[in-house]
């Protein structure tokens, strides 16, 4: 009698252990999938950050080149250039006004004469 009970209890223990295994496998697979998704998200964020940095560098380079070009044009013909560009100093966009001030600063640093005005 006791042997039969022992066999039944060990059988039910075995069934319980077998029932737990698929659940733990599913849990492990789910965790692995979540980790993979997190890694993919991190890689995407790094790529986006890199692209943003590249765009900002290109934008800054373009801005600097534009300021140098405008400075050279204004210095070449200060009277005509200043009359046409002075409105930029009053532009409602603060970045445009700041760029115009940089242009004027560069012209002054180059030693452009304002005697003709």
pTM for this structure? 0.51
HEC states along 11-22?
Answer: HHHHHHHHHHHH
Closest CA to 103 of 116, 58, 76: 76
> In the numeric block, which tokens belong to residue 50?
């890199």
pLDDT score of 115: 59
pLDDT score of 74: 80
Per-residue confidence in pLDDT tens, the chain, 117 aa: 555 555 555 555 555 555 555 677 888 889 899 999 999 999 999 999 999 999 999 998 988 888 888 888 887 887 888 888 888 889 999 998 998 898 888 888 877 666 555
Closest CA to 75 of 110, 23, 116: 110
Q: In this structure, which long-range contacts are made by residues 55-63, counting pairs with CB atoms below 8 Å and at least 24 apart in sequence?
A: 63/99
pLDDT score of 116: 52
């Amino acid at each position: 009698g006791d042997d039969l009970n022992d066999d039944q209890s060990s059988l039910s223990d075995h069934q319980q252990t077998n029932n737990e295994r698929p659940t733990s496998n599913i849990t492990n697979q789910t965790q692995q999938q979540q980790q993979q998704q997190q890694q993919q998200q991190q890689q995407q964020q790094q790529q986006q950050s890199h692209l943003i940095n590249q765009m900002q560098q290109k934008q800054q380079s373009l801005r600097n080149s534009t300021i140098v070009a405008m400075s050279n044009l204004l210095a070449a013909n200060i009277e005509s250039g200043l009359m046409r560009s002075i409105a930029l100093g009053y532009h409602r966009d603060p970045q445009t006004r700041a760029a115009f001030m940089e242009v004027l600063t560069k012209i002054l640093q180059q030693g452009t004469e304002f005697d003709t005005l």
